Amino acid sequence: MNLKNNREQRGNKYLYIGLLLNLCLLGDSILFKVFSADYNLIKYLSPVYFIIIIICIVFFSPAIHTLGKNRIRYQITGLCIAGSVIYIAINYGAGLILKNIASSPYDMSPKGVISNIFTQMPEIIAFILVRSYSVNAVYKKTHHPIFWIVIISLYLAVIQVNFTKLSIARSYEDLFICLAQDIMPKVTLSFLMTIVCLVGGSIPCIYYMCINKIFMFIFPFLPSLPWVAESVIGIAYPIILSMFIWEEYKILSHLKPSTQKENIFFFSASLLFLVAFSWFVVGVFPIYPSVILTGSMEPLIYPGDVVLIRKLMSEEEVYKLKEGDVINFKMGDITITHRINEIKSDEAGNLSFITKGDNNDAEDDWVVPPNDLKGTIEKVVPKIGLLILLLHKSENISEGVSSY
């Protein structure tokens, strides 16, 4: 009985330390509120605070072991290094193809690079060390480890959310974009880091996060992706990589028969699908999707339907358009999907298009020049854009408008 009580007491000690460390991560927010008027002070006080947390974990907290043995941890470290490089390549490749490469917002001078590393790396490392200690403690010392691991992962994601950006959202669309672009990628990344900490400890996580950050600090041009592509990559990639790492851990631990080739094929195929899907959504390919928000084209197209649009790639394709074709065109800051009702040609042979919605009583008030044409409608996919439609429901939307 005494031996059992001693084990429980030792287990509680680990849990209390993990809880205290997680609460300590909130101390930076308190410092920011106290010294918010002095930016230069908080800029250097914050990393010092996280360095103190790192020292406490490394030198003073009782050691706790991960699931993976040393041999497995080395393998997981290699996977995380490769995973970080692949993530950078996917984002940068998308930026190049979409021609969305912008100058880095960071100071590229040697002093600026060193300052960025000093001010941001301690926070990243402290979060990783606290995560690794906490999730391994609850996994080994609690009766409901999965529950506590999920709670810790969500907690560590939530305290890194920029609530200021969330608070200034003025519509359901802004809220959805904030959720998809900022919050959900943090949640999926948090679960990826949790899985890596369980099977490989803190070192693989530190490599994964620091490679990404240091690349941002030292490279003068960075991808500036549309929020849709950024969200797809930011949410899906951590999920795919975490599944791959977990499967690799089970294989390396002999928890399942060796199927590395199949696992690598799954990982590669998932990445290719992720890249292709994100590029498709943002319009890299000749055909791209758009959500219809109004009923001006009923009964052919209803609100919430997604239309697949084929880009007009040349002047010849513009001249092949005929009355009755359904086109997608730009009108100011919006895009509209209507049918060509009449084609006009001036003395020089320049075309212009009169359009009309099938469900409208009269022709549109505008004339569409060739430069505003985006493409022709190839196919209608019913109702899969209803979520986007709901986000725009409170807005005053012109007839025929597509959301993207």
Parse the chain into domains and list their residue ranges: 2-282, 287-402
- Compute how many other C-beta atoms are within 10 angstroms of the C-beta atom of residue 195: 22
383, 350, 384: which is closest to 367 by C-alpha?
Answer: 350
Distance, in Å, from the CA atom of 49 to the CA atom of 35, rounded to the nearest integer, reads 13
Q: pLDDT value at position 34? A: 59
283, 304, 308: which is closest to 226 by C-alpha?
Answer: 283
pLDDT category at 401 given cuts 50, 70, 90 is low
Q: CA dihedral defined by 238, 242, 248, 249, rounded to 10 degrees?
A: 140
- List the CATH code of the domain at 287-402: 2.10.109.10
Q: What is the mean pLDDT of residues 120-144?
A: 89
Give the pLDDT confidence of 100-116 residue by residue, as tens digits.
888 888 888 888 888 88
Name which residue leads in pLDDT, 150 or 45. 150
Q: pLDDT value at position 260? A: 61
Q: Is the dihedral of CA 93, 95, 96, 98 positive or negative?
A: positive
- Compute how many other C-beta atoms are within 10 angstroms of the C-beta atom of residue 27: 14
SS3 string, 106-162, reads: CCCCHHHHHHHHHHHHHHHHHHHHHHHHHHHHHHHHCCCHHHHHHHHHHHHHHCCCC
Query: Is the pTM for the entire model greater than 0.85?
Result: no
Q: pLDDT value at position 154? A: 94
213, 108, 191, 151: which is closest to 22 by C-alpha?
Answer: 151
- pLDDT of residue 37 exceeding 80, the answer is no
- pLDDT of residue 20 exceeding 60, the answer is yes
Distance, in Å, from the CA atom of 187 to the CA atom of 157, rounded to the nearest integer, reads 5
| Most confident by average pLDDT, 136-145, 149-158, 372-381 | 149-158
Q: pLDDT value at position 5? A: 47
Mean pLDDT of the chain: 82
- pLDDT of residue 208 exceeding 90, the answer is yes
Q: Of 20-24, 72-76, 108-112, 346-350, which gets the smallest average pLDDT?
A: 346-350
